[in-house]
Chains A and B, each alone.
Chain A
Amino acid sequence: PRPDVHPLPPGTHLLFAQSGRIEHVPLEGYSMKKDDAKTVLHLPEKVIIGVAYDCVEKMVYWTEITSPSISKASIEGGEPISVIKSDLDSPEGIAIDHLGRTVFWTDSTKDRIEVASLDGSQRRIIVDSDLVNPRAIITDPPNGNLYWTDWNRDAPKIETSYMDGSNRRVLVKDNLGLPNGLTYDSQSSLLCWADAGTHMMECMQPARGDRRKVTEGIQYPFGITSFGKNIYYTDWRRDAVVAVDRNAGQESDQFQPLKRTKLYGIATAYAQCPSGQNYCAVN
């Protein structure tokens, strides 16, 4: 147990990074129980960027840039455990394949995407070309797909590949600005992103390639995560977590922590793992 750090009660939560903290807000249905927001982890000297959740072991994973590293901790209260601490420069986005038991991350200075087992072993570079400012990364474990954004000002893009980096393709490259956040909802098969350049939130079904606008005029999105019909994103101007109803295309709620400073990555901590398995898990 750490100061002002609380084990999470059961249920679905949002986890987000603010400076050296990982905060959580419980979800009741789709609404944020703001009065019950608490710090899950406080690492006062660190700058935490990306956050991901492993629904199997109920662990939160994060990237940190002051002593570039990837760590994890149990959300039921536990000390941080180091996962990767060497050969990182600016680790940002992070994603878990809860079926394959691996962690993926982007490094915006080394300009590459890597994968490792959840204990940091079996580390491997899977993408190391044509990346300028890779940021968000997301997995679709049942289908074995990986998605990421690159906010390269000259040619921003959203790409996909299999989980070993093969079959790499550009999904979106037109009318993008700074695609900072990316999320995939396995129930609806929707890939959604938040763009701090075009100030839009958009979604598409990767298999169909149909792209549609969810909402526009958002201020400065950084991280984004989905839960059912809702999308939650962190905003650098509002220093808040904003909830958007994907179907209505409208903001439905916001949570602004007392402390006014930038919010970074955000992840949904599901009470249970989404159903589904992939061939790697079966083997």
Chain B
Amino acid sequence: DATRGTSADCQPCPCPAGATCAVVLKTREVVCTNCPAGTTGKRCELCDDGFFGDPLGRSGPVRACRACKCSDNIDPNAVGNCNRQTGECLKCIYNTHGFFCDRCKDGFYGNALATNPADKCKPCSCSPLGTVGPQTGCSQVTGQCPCLPNVAERDCSACQPGFFNLQSGAGCERCNCSPIGSTN
């Protein structure tokens, strides 16, 4: 307020070097208006969309703004790919999930960090007949679905040798073939 006639009428902007500021008339709040490249916010404390960090060190050491770090599992054409402060990835693709898009999402398995998208996360595709309960989840790494008793294969789609009747939906039953009359 330059009209009060004291030496403290005009104060330096509470903004990083080079930024200008203005006072919101209603709230008397000071807002920086020309933050350094890559930063934004009332005090230039935030990173631009697609970047994360803590350029003023508001919650710990100063972390310069850098591009979202999401294991190459985000799309550069998307907006809001990560949280601008924590860097938490918000728009994982290729069926990945997690803070850094570094895991497969539920119902998928494989290596989220593989270079080729086709090698990343594949659907569990558990066989409904051979899998325990209605669940569709499998082991994140091996893709092994939880099989009913005496059921085999990664996706629980077949009976173990010597067992039959996957169709029962309750596991497979022993063949009980006579050892004398059977060929194997």
Which of chain B's residues 30-57 have a Cβ closer than 8 Å to chain A? 31-35, 37-38, 40-42, 46, 48-50
Q: Which of B107-131 contact A (CB under 8 A)?
A: none
- CB of B78 closer than 8 Å to a CB of A: yes
Are B77 and A180 closer than 8 Å at their CB atoms?
yes
Q: Number of A-B pairs whose CB atoms are under 8 Å? A: 70
Instruction: Identify A42's interface contact among B25, B33, B77, B78, CB under 8 A.
Output: B33
A41 in the interface (beta carbon within 8 A) = no
B22 CB contact (under 8 Å) in A4, A153, A259: A4
The answer, yes or no, to whether B97 is at the interface (CB within 8 Å) is no
For the complex formed, measure the closest distance between the CB of A234 and the CB atoms of chain B, giving whole angstroms: 12
Q: A43-51, A157-165, A202-210, A266-274: which one contacts chain B?
A: A43-51
For chain B, the count of residues having a C-beta within 8 Å of the partner chain is: 27
Chain B 74-103 residues near chain A, CB threshold 8 A: 75, 77-80, 84, 91
CB of A264 within 8 A of CB of B40, answer no
Min C-beta distance of A164 to chain B, whole Å: 28
Mostly helix, strand, loop or mixed at chain B's interface? loop
Contact check, A262 vs B40: say whether CB atoms are below 8 A apart.
no
Asked if residues A19 and B79 are in contact (CB atoms below 8 Å), the reply is no
- Does B24 reach chain A (CB closer than 8 Å)? yes
**Pick from B26, B32, B37, B80: contact of A47, CB under 8 Å:** B80
What CA separation (Å) do A66 and B82 show in the bound complex? Answer: 10
Q: State the interface size on chain A (CB cutoff 8 A).
A: 30
Pairwise interchain contact B32-A44, C-beta atoms closer than 8 A: yes
Contact across chains for B91 and A109 when beta carbons are under 8 A apart: yes
Q: Which of A20, A90, A153, A262 has the most CB of B within 10 A?
A: A20
B10 at the interface (CB under 8 A from A): no
Known: A3-B22, A45-B46, A261-B48. A19 touches B80 (CB 8 A): no
CB distance from B45 to the nearest CB of A (A): 9
4 closest residue pairs by CB, A with B: A3-B22, A65-B80, A44-B42, A47-B49
Kindly list chain B residues whose C-beta atoms are within 8 Å of the C-beta of A180: 77
Chain A residues at the B interface, C-beta cutoff of 8 Å? 1-4, 19-20, 39, 42, 44-45, 47, 49, 65-66, 90, 92, 108-109, 133, 151, 153, 178, 180, 196, 258-262, 264
Set of chain B residues within 8 Å of A4, measured between Cβ atoms = 22, 33
Q: Is B23 an interface residue (CB 8 A)?
A: yes
Known: A3-B31, A45-B42. A153 touches B37 (CB 8 A): no
A195 to chain B, nearest CB (A): 11
Cross-chain contact B79 with A153 (CB below 8 angstroms): no
Please state if B37 and A44 are interface contacts (CB–CB under 8 Å).
no
In the complex, the answer to whether A44 meets B80 with C-beta atoms within 8 Å is no
Could you tell me if B48 and A66 are in contact, using CB atoms closer than 8 angstroms?
Answer: no
